[in-house]
Amino acid sequence: MRERTPVAYIPDMATPLVLLDVDGVLNPFSRPHRGYRRHRCTPEGITYRLWLNAAHGPLLLDLAEGAGAELAWASFWKGAANEWIAPRVGLPEMPFVPIPRFPGLEEGHSLGAWKARHVAPWTKGRPFVWFEDEPDATVRIAAEKDIGPHLLVAVDSETGLTGDHLDRAADWLAALTR
């Protein structure tokens, strides 16, 4: 499957970002409650079985709209998230961080640090909230140069995104405008 890059995507440098991971955040590794439904997704011919909650889309859209922020994917799903995840949770097509294939732990990289080194330059100094389940992303993102104000919201990969995570992000985004 070929990734579709939004053609006319030109970021507004003053607009904060809300960055979303998929696996462990929108797709927890355990089914947390009845709001989640099982979905089969087949990007690039590989079948994945995911737990997704259709309530997440409207909640994330409300968060972004209330803060004047822009939603974007920060996941190894990249543009495939627009086809396989967004419609199942009620999100529109969104820009994505072009995170290349993970080289692996045997090469001395950690998953969160690998993602963070690609997220940081993509944000171009804009403020951002990042919903992420990899704890080492916090250390790496803080070490990046020329990074704008940011909040990494650590999500438990077994539970996934919760109202508490969204409230924490909303409070932080609201403080940006004060």
What is the DSSP track for 115-152?
Answer: HHHHHHHHHTT--EEEEE--THHHHHHHH-SS--SEEE
Nearest Cα to Cα of residue 161 among 77, 51, 82: 51
Domain span including residue 42: 17-177
Q: What is the pTM of this model?
A: 0.86
5 within a domain of the structure (yes/no):
no
Higher pLDDT, 64 or 139: 64
30 within a domain of the structure (yes/no):
yes
Whole-number Å distance between alpha carbons of 167 and 178: 17
64 within a domain of the structure (yes/no):
yes
70 within a domain of the structure (yes/no):
yes
Nearest Cα to Cα of residue 27 among 48, 5, 3, 6: 48
Q: Residue 106 is part of a domain; what is its CATH number?
A: 3.40.50
Write the pLDDT tens digit of every residue in 106-146. 545 566 677 888 898 899 999 999 999 987 776 677 667 77
**3-state class (DSSP) for residue 163:** helix
pLDDT band of 10, cuts 50, 70, 90: very low
Based on the structure, what is the number of domains in the chain?
1
**C-alpha dist (Å) from residue 22 to 13, 51, 80, 142, 166:** 24, 10, 11, 21, 15
Nearest Cα to Cα of residue 152 among 46, 82, 123, 103: 123
DSSP state at residue 156: -
Rg (CA), the chain: 15
**C-alpha dist (Å) from residue 80 to 3, 121, 171:** 6, 21, 30
83 within a domain of the structure (yes/no):
yes
9 within a domain of the structure (yes/no):
no
162 within a domain of the structure (yes/no):
yes
Identify the weakest region by mean pLDDT among 2-11, 82-91, 106-115: 2-11
22 within a domain of the structure (yes/no):
yes
Nearest Cα to Cα of residue 126 among 95, 81, 165, 164: 95
